Amino acid sequence: MKEGDSTEKLVESLVEELNCETVFTIPVFGGIAVDEGVVVTWIIMAVLTILSIVFVRNLSVEKPGKVQLMLESVIGWAQDFFEGIIGKENRGYIPYLMTVALYLAISNVIGLLGFKPPTKDMNVTIALAVMSMFVIEWSGIHRNGLVHWCKHFAKPVPIVAPIMILEIVIRPLSLCMRLFGNMLGGFVVMELIKQVVPLIVPIPFSFYFDIFDGLLQAYVFVFLTALFMTEEME
């Protein structure tokens, strides 16, 4: 009966990880529960804000320092990358996409520092997907006008209209599920490997599941958002 016991324990620990714990409650309006993911998001926001302030402090045109050169090359690369997808005339959306990419990249690998990754909580990925949904639809309306946006559902033939309307919801749903499933899947596989062989063997797997997969999913999320936006702006 030892086998069954360990399975039970594993299932219990997985359920524990799936539930988002409430860290504290704000005592207004009958108590607003603040989840772990929200607190970790606040920490990420604080770190990113402080880093942004520190990095842009001593910028100069004549004598760029090492930090400035590095920063310029990274930002320039990211800007070129997004410009290649959504086009030069829509560069106003690039800061939003870069912000989401930065937040996702940090929150996906923050598990290495002992925090619980916010993206392993489905509420966070749903919120991000809803943001993506509004940006995608807004980009289409802003570019081509409301009338064209209403009409484009009936193209190329009116019979596809239900599918096109469903697509508004399906695209963010698949974005959200992909991110959440990948994060959770990597976590579950890592837990299983750690149970079987707790020594040395998990290290290469951790490189893949914790670092490579996290960064890849952040990339895929913003890449697909930008791609859907271009599709909508056509």
Residues at the site binding other proteins, with contacts judged by CB under 8 A? 11, 14-15, 18, 85, 174, 177-178, 180-182, 184-185, 188, 219-220, 223-224, 227
* Residues in Cβ contact with 122 at an 8 Å cutoff, skipping those fewer than 6 apart: 176, 180
Min. distance of Cβ 106 from other proteins in angstroms? 20
Enter the DSSP assignment of 26. E
Is 145 or 181 the residue whose CB approaches other proteins more closely? 181
Min. distance of Cβ 28 from other proteins in angstroms? 33
What are the φ and ψ backbone dihedral angles of 210, each rounded to 5 degrees? -90, -40
Residue 114: Cβ-neighbour burial (10 angstroms; 0-12, 13-18, 19+): exposed
Is 18 or 59 the residue whose CB approaches other proteins more closely? 18
Min. distance of Cβ 151 from other proteins in angstroms? 27
> Measured between alpha carbons, how far is 207 from 188 in angstroms, rounded to an integer?
15
Min. distance of Cβ 181 from other proteins in angstroms? 4
Is 93 or 228 the residue whose CB approaches other proteins more closely? 228
Is 102 or 216 the residue whose CB approaches other proteins more closely? 216
Closest-CA residue to 168 (of 219, 123, 220, 232): 232
